[in-house]
Amino acid sequence: MMDFRTGASHANDKRLELGLVFPDCIEWRRWTPGMEYNKMLYIKNVTRKVMIVHWVPPPTCFFNLNFEDPVRLNPGATAALQVVFKPVKSQLYESKIEFFTLKGNFSINLKGSIPRVQLEVPASLDFGVCFVNDICERKFEVMNSGEEPITLKWNVDSPFLLFPAMATLGSGHSATIMGRFEPVQPGAYAAMAFCEPDLSSILQIRLNGIAKYSCLTISQYSLKFEDVMVKSSKRMDLQVHNISEVAVHFWIESAGKPLHHMESVFLAQPSKGTVVANGSITLEVRITFLRKSLVSFSHKDDNVYGCSLLMKYIVCLRHFSNLFLL
């Protein structure tokens, strides 16, 4: 058998000794400064004799007992005493009420607890490598594991952004926050995102990202399709290489009008896409040659057709030179 007793065991022994049943503590957990809150304190006489219980008010103006002294308890009777809590600012309040009987004394603790507010956020958010003038996004979760609703307010410097900049989370709820990295110059970036969740303390998340220029090259700058039959098409392939360490998004459009009055249509597929870092793709460049009408022409007519295609991507512009149909 154990040779020591817990605090709860001592309290139970005290109750048995006095013949009274009473709580160890009365606690207020959810309250607003400037308001008044009441709770009932119950004391029961479990003996077969009448008991007279005297009490001394708490030594603070923030707690009070609305009941006349003394308290007379018949056998088996219960007294209901109203305890008043009047907080004036957001802080921890503690006091106690002292009671006196012929069999001994006891006290009941009074406590006005500050609601437990706790946010769970990652320590850092890494955006990795992003190319200049592009947008890299990362998501993370914020969890309110506290007891009260919390309003989040994010404060972070460019080139980082957090959305939404303000949000309210109920107790036990979470929210998905979108982080953005929008660099306009190359370099390594680091910043602290500060969160003000209605607390005296401020939470911090470290944000990191590296910005680099993107660069694409092509295997050749001129494609000659040679002879192409009317109402037919011809295809040639073109290699596009990404020599940078970031993925590059591109799109292709016509740089000008055809060089001849007859339709000469050059198309490149895919017309837009992404080339992974240090990777390459194959573009299929195709000409579809159609006559608007049946006409005759001599060798003096210009029978060379072509156009320019622009390949665009952020930061730099590369173009395909004139693609001649001979």
Q: DSSP states of 157-205 as a string?
A: -TTEEEESSEEEE-TT-EEEEEEEE--SS-EEEEEEEEE--SSSS-EEE
Same structural domain, 23 and 106: yes
In this predicted structure, the answer to whether residue 37 has a pLDDT above a threshold of 80 is: yes
Mean pLDDT over all residues of the chain? 78
Position 301 scores a pLDDT of 41
Q: Tokens 């109920």 identify what position?
A: 170
Q: Which of 23-32, 145-154, 184-193 has the lowest mean pLDDT?
A: 145-154
Diameter of the chain by CA atoms?
Answer: 132
Q: How many CB atoms within 10 Å of residue 90?
A: 13
In this predicted structure, the answer to whether residue 191 has a pLDDT above a threshold of 90 is: yes
CATH of the domain at 68: 2.60.40.10
Q: Of the candidates 112, 134, 166, which is a domain's last residue?
A: 112
Q: Of the candidates 183, 212, 241, which is a domain's last residue?
A: 212
Q: Which of 12-26, 97-111, 255-269 has the lowest mean pLDDT?
A: 255-269
Number of domains in the chain: 3
Angle at 28 between CA 26 and CA 31, to 5 degrees: 160
* 45-85 pLDDT tens trace: 999 999 999 988 898 899 998 888 888 999 999 999 999 99
- Expressed as residue numbers, the domain containing 142 is 119-212
Q: For residue 299, give the DSSP letter.
A: T
Q: Of the candidates 112, 139, 155, which is a domain's last residue?
A: 112
Q: Are 131 and 243 in contact, with CB atoms under 8 Å apart?
A: no
Q: Kindly state the average pLDDT of the residues 216-225.
A: 77
Position 319 scores a pLDDT of 34
pTM across the whole model: 0.52
Q: Kindly state the average pLDDT of the residues 296-314.
A: 45
